[in-house]
Amino acid sequence: MKNIGMRQSLLLGCIADDFTGATDLANNLVRSGMRVMQINGVPSQDLSAPVDAVVIALKSRTTPALEAVDQSLAAYLWLKKQGSRQIYFKYCSTFDSTSQGNIGPVTEALMEAIGADFTIATPAFPDNGRTVFKGHLFAGDTLLSESGMQNHPLTPMTDANLVRVLQAQCQRKVGLVDYKTVMAGATAIEQRFAALREQGVSIAIVDAISNDDLMRLGLALKSLPLLTAGSGVAIGLAQNHGIAPSSQASTLPPPTGLQAIVSGSCSLATNRQVQHFMQTDLPSLAIDPQQLAQGKDVVAQALSWAAPRMAQSPVLIYSTANAQALQGVQNQLGAQAAGEMVEHALASIARGLVQLGVRQLVVAGGETSGACVQALKVAQMQIGSQIDPGVPWCYAHSDASDGAGLHLTLKSGNFGTDDFFTKAFKVLG
Ligand code: ADP
């Protein structure tokens, strides 16, 4: 492996606090022209391909703060070993956290480890309706604290003032770079950073309400060793390295093999996508959680159903159900038990399909994707072009694919147009 050349080219090392957030960030970086690899969990091996940025996906958003810190530091150490020039701690664009953390403690631990005396914090992602003005976070047209996030089961956000929110999680002083400064451009932002430093501020919330703001901010971030943000700030970083958007960044090896879809999402968009696929007369098979609960070998049945059909066309295997049917199953089996059982079965099916020669696999559902990626022992994914916003094709290796590469797309529940399941394969070519 050509480690030396590769290490020199790793411009950005990212630590994301959840799985689909990591893909969202990777997607933004690819669109700005960077070649990106997403890694699930802290890797034990070095990078397997030369890229500009790496995104490590953790599951640290709602774990106890100490655990989040440990995981993030382990990710940082690996990124440092790969020669990463700048570190990007990525959290949700609704700043999902509790008053104990985890954004503050992870930020401060990374500052300590890196030796950074100053960093920024902004979840702004205007393309997705997340803007920060005078330190206040808006989701669409409403303040975060009135957006529904105040009722979130795990991370209720009852205050939209991010300076206050982050200060409650930090030992270090939190300040603000306000909109007027951001409008004035990169030099003004850098001057404000210097003034805040003199006032003893270590972490600055930065206002941004448009992509132009993020581009101006990006220039001012060039020499900061650590950035903390949602995925939006990523769009302004490639320009610091003379990298412009290009189709090259998203080029993956050509697709091979058979095509299949595994869907465990019960979201509205996925229900529509399953309906749409069935209307095309392509083969589809429903997985019945009741049969799983009765101990039937649903996995083996699904694989022997799929084997002859996949030679002709893509197949869909789904547990996707509408709200009423889902409720019925959950009442009988328990929501968590049913969910885990179905995830486990779909993950075994995904692995079996790849063993049967599937090399283009669509997985629908966030948790379902996590289970499938684990079952396939996919450690690293190269990020390609997007099929729909937030859903790129990826290229990975699995021990189930007999040494061959595997094209994989992981669609979170409510993403994608109704024809996503057929469109995905057409986009791949
Ligand atoms: P989404 O991204 O739409 O939230 P997820 O995969 O994250 O999708 O979550 C869907 C959950 O519902 C998973 O735990 C899955 O196993 C479970 N599930 C899927 N189909 C059924 C079903 N028919 N009955 C019960 N649970 C189901």
DSSP state of 401: G
Mean of per-residue pLDDT scores for the chain: 93
Q: What is the mean pLDDT of residues 216-240?
A: 97
Greater pLDDT, 147 or 241: 241
30 lines ligand 1 (CB under 6 A): no
Percent of the chain with pLDDT over 70: 98
Closest CA to 418 of 276, 268, 262: 276
Domain count, the chain: 2
Domain hosting residue 151, numbered range: 4-249
Question: Is the minimum distance from the CB of 338 to ligand 1 under 6 angstroms?
Answer: yes
Domain CATH number, residue 195:
3.40.50.10840
| CB-neighbour burial class of residue 168 (10 A; exposed 0-12, middle 13-18, buried 19+) | middle
180 C-alpha to ligand 1 centroid (Å): 45
Instruction: Please tell me the number of Cα atoms within 13 Å of 356 on its side-chain side.
Output: 22
pLDDT per position as a tens digit, 128-185? 889 999 999 999 999 999 988 888 777 889 999 999 999 999 999 999 999 999 999 9
Q: Which residue has the higher pLDDT, 3 or 227?
A: 227
Residues in the chain: 429
> Do 347 and 328 fall into the same domain?
yes
Q: What is the pLDDT of residue 185?
A: 98
User: What is d(CA 272, CA 424) in angstroms, rounded to the nearest whole number?
Assistant: 15
Q: What average pLDDT does range 66-95 have in this prediction?
A: 96
Residue 7 pLDDT > 70: no
Highest mean pLDDT among 55-59, 103-107, 387-391: 103-107
Q: Which of 40-49, 107-116, 374-383 has the weakest average pLDDT?
A: 40-49
Which residue has better confidence, 325 or 9?
Answer: 325
Q: Give the pLDDT of residue 373.
A: 92
**Ligand 1 atom 4, closest CA:** 413
Q: Do 265 and 230 lie in a common domain?
A: no
pLDDT for the residue 98? 86
| pLDDT reported for residue 5 | 37
Residue minimizing CA distance to atom 23 of ligand 1: 319
233 CA from centroid of ligand 1 (Å): 31
Average pLDDT, integer, range 321-335: 92
Pairing of strands 36-40, 380-388: antiparallel
**Straight-line distance from the first to the last Cα atom of the chain, in angstroms, rounded to the nearest whole number:** 30
Q: Hey, what amino acid is at 104?
A: G
pLDDT value, residue 68: 96
- Which residues does residue 133 pair with via DSSP β-bridges, in sequence order? 136
Instruction: Give yes or no: residues 188 and 332 share one domain.
Output: no
Least Cα distance to 85 among 230, 225, 231 occurs for 225
Contacts of 15 (CB under 8 A, 6+ apart): 56, 58, 72, 75, 76, 79, 87, 88, 89, 90, 106, 110
How high is the pLDDT of residue 76?
Answer: 98
Q: Are 299 and 421 in the same domain?
A: yes
Determine the pLDDT at residue 155. 83
Residue with CA closest to ligand 1 atom 26: 339
> For ligand 1, is residue 316 a contact (CB within 6 Å)?
no
CB crowding 80-89: b at 16 or more within 10 Å, else e:
eebbbebbbb
Residue owning the nearest CA to atom 10 of ligand 1: 265
Summarize pLDDT for 304-316 with one digit per residue, the tens: 999 999 999 999 9
Rounded to the nearest whole angstrom, what is the distance from the C-alpha of residue 96 to the centroid of ligand 1? 22
- Those residues with Cβ within 8 angstroms of residue 175's Cβ, 6 or more apart along the chain or in another chain: 163, 196, 199, 201, 203, 204, 205
- What ranges make up the beta strands (E) of 184-310? 201-206, 226-229, 258-263, 284-286
Could you identify the atom of ligand 1 that is nearest to the CA of residue 333?
Answer: 25
pLDDT at position 286 is 98
The CATH number that applies at residue 263 is 3.40.980.20
Between 402 and 206, name the one with better pLDDT: 206
Is the peptide bond prior to 161 cis by the omega test (within 30 degrees of 0)?
no
Q: In this structure, are 261 and 374 located in the same domain?
A: yes
Among 3-7, 267-271, 278-282, the range with the most confident prediction by mean pLDDT is 278-282
pLDDT > 80? residue 356: yes
Domain boundary among 249, 280, 296: 249
307 and 238 part of one domain:
no
Select from 249, 273, 301 the last residue of a domain.
249
pTM as predicted: 0.83
Residues 108 and 212 in one domain: yes
Distance from residue 265's CA to the centre of ligand 1 (Å): 5
Please indicate whether residue 258 or residue 92 has the higher confidence score (pLDDT). 258
Please check whether residue 306 is in contact with residue 260, taking contact to mean a CB–CB distance below 8 angstroms.
yes
| In a shared domain, residues 302 and 392 | yes
Which one has a higher pLDDT value, 136 or 390?
Answer: 136
Residues 414 and 373 in one domain: yes
Helix (H) or strand (E) holding 386: strand 380-388
Q: How far is the CA of 68 from the centre of ligand 1 (A)?
A: 26
Q: Is residue 243 over pLDDT 50?
A: yes
How many whole angstroms from 411 Cα to the centroid of ligand 1? Answer: 13
Q: What is the pLDDT of residue 8?
A: 53
Between residues 391 and 78, the one the model is more confident about: 78
Out of 226, 249, 272, pick the residue that ends a domain: 249
Verify whether ligand 1 is closer than 6 Å to residue 339 (CB atom): yes
The answer, yes or no, to whether any atom of ligand 1 lies below 6 A from the CB of 413, is yes
173/353 Cα distance (integer angstroms): 53
| Confidence (pLDDT) at 150 | 85
Give whole-number Cα distances, 370 to 57, 61, 70, 258, 346, in Å: 11, 15, 21, 22, 11
Atom of ligand 1 nearest to the CA of 321: 23
- The per-residue pLDDT for 3 is 37
Report in angstroms the alpha-carbon separations of 347 from 82, 264, 407, 429: 31, 10, 16, 26
Q: 215 and 265, same structural domain?
A: no
Considering the domain architecture, whether residues 233 and 307 belong to the same structural domain is answered as: no
Q: 208 and 226 in one domain?
A: yes
| CA nearest neighbour of 175 among 199, 141, 158, 157 | 199
